[in-house]
Amino acid sequence: MQDLTDGLARFQRDVFPAKKELFAHLATHHTPSTLFIGCSDARVVPELITGTEPGDLFVVRTAGNLVPAYTPEADGISASIEYAVATLHVRDIVVCGHSACGAMTALAEGHDLTAAPAVASWLRHADASVARTAAEGDVPALVRQNVLAQLANLATHPSVARATAAGRVALHGWVYDIATGAVEDLTSPTLAA
């Protein structure tokens, strides 16, 4: 915890004053351009890897960057997606998977999750991802298929379906490589970073 309190002090002393105008603007404006859906993994930091500033990304992070398909019963993820798309009018949505993902590794290698029932249940949202992946144990392949499957899940949310049909929002699937920092764009390979 000491690390965090030291970090807070450093932020207030060095970082905040350097971006004072930005924070003053953000105090009354919330206009992110992008909804970024990533994994909760501590090594994948959306703002850092995209070089964005506070206010640029509306971020949802879940274990395995899973986006449950729409159901009429509201949940926090659906509400966040709807708010970003229908109220904040983001123009792009990125689903970002990553190398060495614990969730995808557990699924690809068939780990025993009986001691983690909530995890096991949550990872069922990747059933289609597993079904699309031919080779068992191939974590990179599952990571890619999972990003594509979650984009399909995302498209079932009415706010997203409406916005994409109207051409107001574009969906992107990325895979971030922790070892190299490279991002593979699964949806527009020619734009791969």
Long-range own/partner contacts, residues 164-169 (CB < 8 A, 24 or more apart): 168/89, 168/91, 169/85, 169/90, 169/91, 169/92, 169/93
94 touching Zn ion, by CB under 5 A? no
* Least separation in angstroms between CB 136 and Zn ion: 19
93 touching Zn ion, by CB under 5 A? no
- Contact residue for Zn ion among 39, 81, 94, 175 (CB under 5 A): 39
**Identity of the amino acid at 136:** E
Can 43 be counted among the known catalytic residues? yes
101 touching Zn ion, by CB under 5 A? yes
Which member of 96, 101, 125, 172 is catalytic?
Answer: 101
Query: Given its phi and psi angles, is residue 137 left (phi above 0), alpha (psi -120 to 50 degrees) or beta?
Result: left
175 touching Zn ion, by CB under 5 A? no
Of the candidate spans 13-21, 85-93, 95-103, 127-135, the one that interacts with Zn ion by CB under 5 A turns out to be 95-103
Can 98 be counted among the known catalytic residues? yes
* Least separation in angstroms between CB 108 and Zn ion: 12
Please report the DSSP string for 58-81 in residue order.
Answer: EEEEEGGG--PPP-SS--HHHHHH
In the complex with Zn ion, the residue whose CB is nearer, 39 or 151, is: 39
Query: What distances in angstroms separate CA 99 from CA 10, 87, 95, 135, 160, one per listed residue?
Result: 31, 32, 14, 17, 27
Q: Are the CB atoms for 177 and 166 separated by under 8 Å?
A: no
- Contact residue for Zn ion among 38, 41, 70, 125 (CB under 5 A): 41
Which residues contact Zn ion (rule: CB under 5 A)?
39, 41, 101
Residues labelled as active-site residues? 39, 41, 43, 98, 101
